[in-house]
Structure 1
Amino acid sequence: MVWTRLSFSWRFAALGLAWLGGAFAHLQLAVLPDQGTLATLLGASLAGGAVAARWPHARVLLVPVAAVLSFALASAHASWRLADALAASLEREDLVVDGVVASLPQVSEQGVRFRFEVESARFGNEAVRVPAVVQLGWFSGWGGAPQDAHGRPARAAPADPLPEVRAGDRWRFAVRLRRPHGLRNPHGFDHELFLFEQGVRAVGTVRPGAVRLGVSWRHPVERLRQHVRDDLIATVADRRAAGVLAALAVGDQSAIASDDWRIFRDTGISHLVSVSGVHVTMFAWLAGLLLNAAWARAGPASLWVPAPMAARVGGVLAAAAYALFAGWGVPAQRTVLMLATVTVLQMGGRRWPLGLTLLVAAVVVCAADPWALNQSGFWLSFAAVALLLAASPEGGVRQGAPLRRAWLVLHDGARTQAVATVGLAPLTLVLFQQVSIVGFAANLVAIPAVTLVVTPLALGGVVLAPLWWLGAWVIQQSNGLLLWLARMPGAVWTAAAAPPWAQVAGVFGAVLAVMPLPWRLRLLAVPLLVPLAAPAVPRPAEGRYEVLAADVGQGSAVLVRTRTRLLLYDTGPAYGGEANAGERVLAPLLRARGEDRIDRLVLSHRDTDHVGGAGPLLDRWPVGELLGSLEPGHRLLGLASSDRRCDAGQSWTWDGVRFDVLHPPASDHARPLKPNAKSCVVRISGPQGSVLLAGDIERAQEAGLVATGVPLASDVLLVPHHGSRTSSTAAFLDAVRPSVAVIQSGHLNRFGHPVAEVLDRLRARGARVVESPSCGAWHWDGDGPPTTARCTRPGTRRYWHHPG
């Protein structure tokens, strides 16, 4: 048999890959197998294992057994987690929960967010079951969740601050909970998976009537982390530097400003300012060095346990302690498991090839956390190690004079960084559609500075606070270089999302480029990399257009693309703090679609749920013209190449597609009308049909449009004001006669949009109603009628997603 003739390494590799394949297969499921199916799969895998153990020639069966067992165990793990769910009947109800603050509270201007371990819950006088861990937001003001007119958390009244929330405190909260429901957009972040992996099965807000019940003995590490963070923030006056130090010392990234994150991303050093594998591994290495030196002088102890073994075990324990103190985040957990696996294998007496060691570590990580296979950090971490192993030339101890040895160390460090930069660039493009061109230079300086200087100072400050001042000074000096690099022309290369074949070819090309091969062979990587770095972007034909209504929550954002032009109608809401739809939703979407310019940005009116994401887009993308109903002096005016007021009667044609502005009349801008009444209404028409983007117009504006006799009939209607009862009158809908009505609104939003009467009016006229909470992003490519358009959520649904 072929199996028996294979070496141990090949057989173990086959089993490891089968295990990873089984876990990956379970991640593709929209619905998990039932308990009977899982029991059958587990029984079949045990039977296959027994057969393989009895007959050596049947041991090839261990490969499918490993895959089936991995699939079944991962599915069982997921089923157990899914069972810890909030009943739909309890969503948005006033509940009373007793429990303990289980995480480091994240404080912002709006309030505080934290995870809460529920001990008991009541609905009225009845005990009810809620998930064991929920994520709560307690917003400033009156102890509930006050919001402004556009659905954002309102700022606190200075006279009514929140009580201090500390990890380990026991509280009784009045809360309103809901099941996690994230935004679903092409190439967007899967927030529901993030919460599922963390074990958070409900989110909610604290209502008035909170009572602190005392201090529990639980979560002492989280309590210590909070104490350290508070001391650090109080000690370091520079808030930007303090945010980085807090991220490195206790794993709290909430104090890092969005502008700083942008600089870190553009220079390719984001992995250095969060507790990741680099920091945990470096901590283990330093601890191992110290323990090895100390253990060698420990006398009898070094005879019982050799110093190298003690150093390896001690390094892993030190890494685990650091990861725990830094919040025990998923990336840190993965690294500790990797280090522990490598240590156990080294202690086992068998010589394991480095590649096989890496595969075993991946299997262990996947067994503990099967959802890691869906995380970009998992692939980047293992790919980095694999590339460095594959590209490392044979070598030994550096010989020669001290100066020469120092030069060789620097040379090797630069080469290692070059291999990591070049080798990981294609995978970074696959995952994020952008890669830092200046990342090699930035990391060459930042890796030693952050790992060997700033991180030790951040941790040393826990014992000796003045060390934080020195760490802040180093950060301040580094920021100037990073800012200069980030502002260099061409600092970041962006590319549209490539087809799967180009992604595979690009990753293979990267491996070829960094392998220690003759340069003529490595040149073959170039044609493999080009389709990934500069993929062809499919665009509509002349006279046609495509429409994508993004899922931005309670707000509006619509992309319209012709053969050569792009129009963006509104930019979605601000989510509170520095978060907004422009940064979180539209920027990744534009990058993935290969858009390097917004030819016209239409901001229908000034409300935050329509313009909240405009700032980051105007800062990052060239915008040819801003067209809108913004008042003179608005903060967004002047950021585009040109500004123009939106007036009825304006029109233009792009690539055979006509755009007409139907509202507001020029005279309305001088009238004391509320912003909704001045919404910029745009009708798009071409051979494939027409679309009406109606903003937030209300009854009076709808009646005015009907009375003027302008062409309103459209195949697709962006329903005005998110389906509010203020809009979508019968006369207006009779004039539009849409076959598809798209409603952009937030899941379980506080306004109750869309209202039932609007839905009834639309359906009575034969319109197919599309709601963004159940559809996600709505994409009409124009090749068929709008009723054939695609919804992102149903098409990409996995078992952890909200049903919509």
Structure 2
Amino acid sequence: MMAVCLVLGVVWADHYSPLPSSVAPFAALALVLMLLATALKFSGGSVFLCLAVALTGASLHAHRIRPGAGDVAHLANTGPVRIIATVTRLVSTTEYSQRVQLDVHAAGRKDVAVPVNGKLLCTLPPDRPVNPGQTLLLHDVRISLPVRITSPGQYDEKRMLARRGVHALGKADRFTISRPEPLWRLTLDSTVARIRAHVVQVTRAAMPGPERGLFADLLTGMVFGMYSVELPQDLVEHFRRSGTVHVMVVSGGHVTLVAGAIIFLFRGISMRLPLRVLLIGLPLLLLYGLIAGLYPSVLRSLAMAAILLLGMVTGRRYDVWTALSVAAIALIIADTSALFSVSVQLTFAAVIGVVAFIPRAGPRRRQRASGFVTTLLALGGSALGAWLAVTPIVAYHFDSLVIGGILANLIVVPIRALVMGLGIAVVLLGSIWLPLAFLPATAGWVLLEVTVWTVRFFSLLPGSSLSGFHLPLGGIVVWYFAAAVVWWLLYGGSMRQTVESETNRLPRRQSEPEPQPSVSRAWPAVMLFALAAIGFFTAAVAARPAAHLRVIFLSVGQGHCALISDTGGNHVMIDAGSGMASSRAYHWVGPRVILPHLARLRVRHLDALIMTHADDDHCNAMADIIEAMPVRCLLTNGLPLDDSPAAQQALAAANHRGVQSAILRAGAKISLADSAELTVLHPPEKPLQRTVADCNNNSIVTRLTYGQVSFLFPGDVQREGEEMLLRWARTHGESLRSDVLLLPHHGRKTSSSGPFLDAVRPTVAIVSGAPPNWQPAHPEVVKRTAARGIPLLSTDMQGSIEMRTDGHRLWISSFSGDYPEDRRRRRWQVPISTPDCAAAW
């Protein structure tokens, strides 16, 4: 109960962000009231204790998520500063930069420095690698604040950093190491690195077969976790899609096997251990954790294993629920942000599900049941429990539902236990004499072959996993409620009778039936779960009938992405990319911004994906989209793609997935439902040449018409392209008049010329991905649109912008609601000048 109260307090503080000074006094008051109630023997002492624990958790988390008075975040956007800080964590390293987390001690300009505190996530040049524990002097650091999210489902870097106590970002081009890392830390890091390298070397030398390197790394990953080695991303993706990736993450199962091996080596099968086993076993467990990496899931497993060893030394009965609660409390008090770590949520949920759903039986039933049947029931119950507990978390964070995970886990989980033992034997025996490791390595190779074949089979099996499946918080609550009802129908009666029997301390009569799951209880549980699963599948997968045509301009940083969804369930996406100059929140824009947004819109296929031209800020997310969901056809302008690796990757992904490709030219038409039509207006049959920018001026330009409402998507055409578009429209009798105009080339002054704006005469214009110093667009473009009375909406300011129309009226809404005329609104009235087209909210 204390762990639950602590979790609720942290979640409450994370949602409401209270002032720490306003929460701590109430926590102290609740503690005093608890002590008074206990002293006076009142019955409300436990209530005050729960309240004190919850408020303590809220106070601890509030201190993290709100910057203090002297935090380095207050220096954001004030110009370059010099900073003295200590490296606490190495976040990432590439050939272009290294990102580190710093504890800031002082900051200032020139020779004047003042004490400053707080944490800073800083980007440094890669020429001089840094290590945790070093103190750095950083020169000319430019500090900024994390950006807010601008699209539904977008990865919220600002909130995730705040949970870790980081409220500012920094970038330094120069730094010096003023003090090296402590000797003890350098010695520990180098020792762990040497041991990890030795483990990899021994397993690679002992592993047979043509792919010995792959299987050696896979063996090391299953023993010490996937983060201890570099595994191929496609193999990791197979594990994830088959629902078995948890066997590659160090969890309670791994540490339990290690602890069991330690106990067996020192004491055999005895249930009482001497103190020396604890003194030897704990350092060995800590060494295993250091090799695997002290991630939150590893720390939780180590804490539970330490409680197990301590209980066996003191002769106390080990209770998994108590150990789980103690581990959760210790982990949250040490770091409240651990509660929001996906790995922590998955590992705790998996343990709870496995323990709750393992079949329970009394002694007489265990005597009647064979070992094979008992083992099979235990595997089936643990696989079902783990799947029920983990699936909602995966669907919420990763927008995917693994349906075949139960069957895959029935095969992979038992193999994992055998591979763990064989892997430890390979390392130990190979360290003594390498030929001794050949036999366990060969057995491990056979089991790993079966594992790889199994995960690839279930990963590629049609219908085994569903991408784009997002389960909201309300759905998670309903899911767990249904799982609790299933558990009660299966085990509730036997659990109640067992508790009553233990409470009364009376021996069970011979004629009294032993409590056990019966067929009458099992069938309602199975039927209830089947009905709940069908309901969830129907509610989450089936697309809602659309009453209006919908056009969404996604906020993707300095890039462009637009989605058209008609009333018949057809979806067309125009461009999908973000420029390198975008903030870090828009890096990996496909999996972190676009795909989560599509999952929340229940868009699980694209009928057409249009690449207006081959610039990265228009196409560098297309490969991710093609790999993640069914795409019927990829449409391009047909120009060479030699200078665009992103466009080449998109075409390669299309070929790999069997997506048809076609070239669009002026005059082509794409028919949608309910007489909606997408007309191609540019480029002409003979593309433009020798212009200022041929790639931009040959962008695909499309015009969407639905009833009396129209939208124009001109890509990145510049002045020469606009002139050609005007000539073609006059020659072929096509009208450019549109109610909504996407300003070409992100609102730059080289586009949106006066004649072009006069021909389109939009009621409202959208700016997607303008540079940060131009908001909402270039000043000259702002003047041109203002002179014509055209209001501007920007995805940088308003976030993702959604427009819905029934062919006569137009509704406009945005994610953030920052409209220039009324920042309190998320929907606005837009006067439509087309005849018989009225405005609406």
Identify whether the pair has TM-score above 0.5, normalized to the shorter chain: yes
Summarize the alignment of residues 223-372 of structure 1 with structure 2, pairs less than 5 Å apart.
223-226=190-193, 238=213, 242=217, 245=220, 249=224, 252=227, 255-290=230-265, 292-293=267-268, 307=273, 318-337=284-303, 358=324, 361-372=327-338
1:724 paired residue number: 748
2:510 paired residue number: none
Summarize the alignment of residues 691-702 of structure 1 with structure 2, pairs less than 5 Å apart.
691-702=711-722
Tell me whether 1:388 sits opposite 2:354 in the alignment: yes
* Deviations, residues 622-645 of structure 1 (Å, cap 9, x unaligned): 222211224357554453532222
Tell me whether 1:134 sits opposite 2:142 in the alignment: no
RMSD: 4.7
Give 1:21 deviation, angstroms.
2.8
Amino acid at match of 1:622: P
* Deviations, residues 30-89 of structure 1 (Å, cap 9, x unaligned): xx3345533553454345435533540443651673376246424542356566744465
Give 1:327 deviation, angstroms.
3.4
Tell me whether 1:486 sits opposite 2:459 in the alignment: yes
- Do the aligned partners of residues 105 and 359 (structure 1) sit closer, same or farther apart at CA in structure 2, a change above 3 Å counting? closer
1:510 paired residue number: 483
Q: Is the 8 A contact 2:804 2:811 kept in 1?
A: no
2:603 paired residue number: 595
1:147 paired residue number: none
SS of match in other structure, 1:601 = strand
Summarize the alignment of residues 192-231 of structure 1 with structure 2, pairs less than 5 Å apart.
192-207=158-173, 214=180, 216-217=182-183, 219-220=185-186, 221-226=188-193
Give 1:265 deviation, angstroms.
1.0
Tell me whether 1:653 sits opposite 2:671 in the alignment: yes
2:645 paired residue number: none
Counterpart among 519, 524, 532 of residue 536 in structure 2 = 532
Give 1:561 deviation, angstroms.
1.3
Distance 1:246 1:92 in 2: 46
SS of match in other structure, 1:509 = helix
Give 1:729 deviation, angstroms.
4.0
SS of match in other structure, 1:659 = strand
2:511 paired residue number: none
Q: Is the 8 A contact 2:468 2:598 kept in 1?
A: no
Amino acid at match of 1:27: D
Distance 2:117 2:753 in 1: 42
Counterpart among 628, 651, 661 of residue 643 in structure 1 = 661
Distance 1:209 1:485 in 2: 49
1:555 paired residue number: 559
Distance 2:777 2:116 in 1: 28
TM-score (norm 2): 0.74
SS of match in other structure, 2:610 = strand
Q: Is the 8 A contact 2:680 2:703 kept in 1?
A: yes
Give 1:268 deviation, angstroms.
1.2
Distance 1:213 1:419 in 2: 51
Give 1:428 deviation, angstroms.
3.7
Larger Rg: 2
Amino acid at match of 1:178: S
Distance 2:310 2:804 in 1: 54
Distance 2:69 2:402 in 1: 42
Q: Is the 8 A contact 1:170 1:216 kept in 2?
A: no
Q: Is the 8 A contact 2:482 2:532 kept in 1?
A: yes
Structure 1 portions without partners, runs of 5+: 1-12, 144-161, 297-305, 796-804
* Deviations, residues 100-134 of structure 1 (Å, cap 9, x unaligned): 54445744454544444555545444436666543
Amino acid at match of 2:528: L
Distance 2:376 2:634 in 1: 50
* Deviations, residues 716-762 of structure 1 (Å, cap 9, x unaligned): 4433333334334455445545555444438969x999545545655
Q: Is the 8 A contact 2:358 2:381 kept in 1?
A: no
Give 1:690 deviation, angstroms.
3.5
Larger mean CA deviation between 127-136 and 555-564 belongs to 127-136
Distance 1:98 1:223 in 2: 26
Distance 2:572 2:375 in 1: 52
Summarize the alignment of residues 761-776 of structure 1 with structure 2, pairs less than 5 Å apart.
769-776=792-799
Counterpart among 627, 631, 650 of residue 623 in structure 1 = 631
SS of match in other structure, 2:577 = coil
Tell me whether 1:612 sits opposite 2:620 in the alignment: yes
Q: Is the 8 A contact 1:503 1:532 kept in 2?
A: no
Larger mean CA deviation between 273-282 and 652-661 belongs to 273-282
- Do the aligned partners of residues 428 and 70 (structure 1) sit closer, same or farther apart at CA in structure 2, a change above 3 Å counting? same
Distance 2:718 2:736 in 1: 15
1:154 paired residue number: none
1:73 paired residue number: 59
- Do the aligned partners of residues 215 and 430 (structure 1) sit closer, same or farther apart at CA in structure 2, a change above 3 Å counting? closer
- Do the aligned partners of residues 501 and 327 (structure 1) sit closer, same or farther apart at CA in structure 2, a change above 3 Å counting? closer
* Deviations, residues 671-711 of structure 1 (Å, cap 9, x unaligned): 67432222222232325844333322223334444564654
2:592 paired residue number: 584
Q: Is the 8 A contact 1:509 1:529 kept in 2?
A: no
Q: Is the 8 A contact 1:97 1:118 kept in 2?
A: yes
Distance 1:738 1:229 in 2: 63
Larger mean CA deviation between 265-274 and 662-671 belongs to 662-671
Larger mean CA deviation between 678-687 and 234-243 belongs to 234-243
Summarize the alignment of residues 382-531 of structure 1 with structure 2, pairs less than 5 Å apart.
382-395=348-361, 405=371, 408-409=374-375, 412-422=378-388, 424-450=390-416, 452-453=418-419, 457=423, 470=441, 478-494=451-467, 496-497=469-470, 502-513=475-486, 515-516=490-491, 517=517, 518-522=521-525, 523-531=527-535
1:302 paired residue number: none
Amino acid at match of 2:59: L
1:545 paired residue number: 549
Q: Is the 8 A contact 1:433 1:495 kept in 2?
A: yes
- Do the aligned partners of residues 39 and 525 (structure 1) sit closer, same or farther apart at CA in structure 2, a change above 3 Å counting? closer
SS of match in other structure, 1:524 = helix
Q: Is the 8 A contact 2:668 2:679 kept in 1?
A: yes
- Do the aligned partners of residues 727 and 553 (structure 1) sit closer, same or farther apart at CA in structure 2, a change above 3 Å counting? same
1:667 paired residue number: 686
Amino acid at match of 1:549: F
Distance 1:333 1:793 in 2: 42
Structure 2 portions without partners, runs of 5+: 205-211, 492-516, 642-647, 820-841
Counterpart among 550, 568, 578 of residue 573 in structure 2 = 568
SS of match in other structure, 1:28 = helix
* Deviations, residues 350-390 of structure 1 (Å, cap 9, x unaligned): 98976566556545544444444444444433333333333
Larger mean CA deviation between 564-573 and 508-517 belongs to 508-517
Q: Is the 8 A contact 1:20 1:67 kept in 2?
A: no
SS of match in other structure, 2:686 = helix
Counterpart among 20, 31, 35 of residue 7 in structure 2 = 20
Distance 1:694 1:168 in 2: 52
Q: Is the 8 A contact 2:24 2:55 kept in 1?
A: no
- Do the aligned partners of residues 227 and 477 (structure 1) sit closer, same or farther apart at CA in structure 2, a change above 3 Å counting? farther
SS of match in other structure, 2:671 = strand
TM-score (norm 1): 0.77
Q: Is the 8 A contact 2:746 2:770 kept in 1?
A: no
Give 1:239 deviation, angstroms.
6.8
Tell me whether 1:680 sits opposite 2:700 in the alignment: yes
Distance 2:228 2:404 in 1: 23
Give 1:266 deviation, angstroms.
0.8
Give 1:487 deviation, angstroms.
1.9
Give 1:655 deviation, angstroms.
1.5
Amino acid at match of 2:347: S
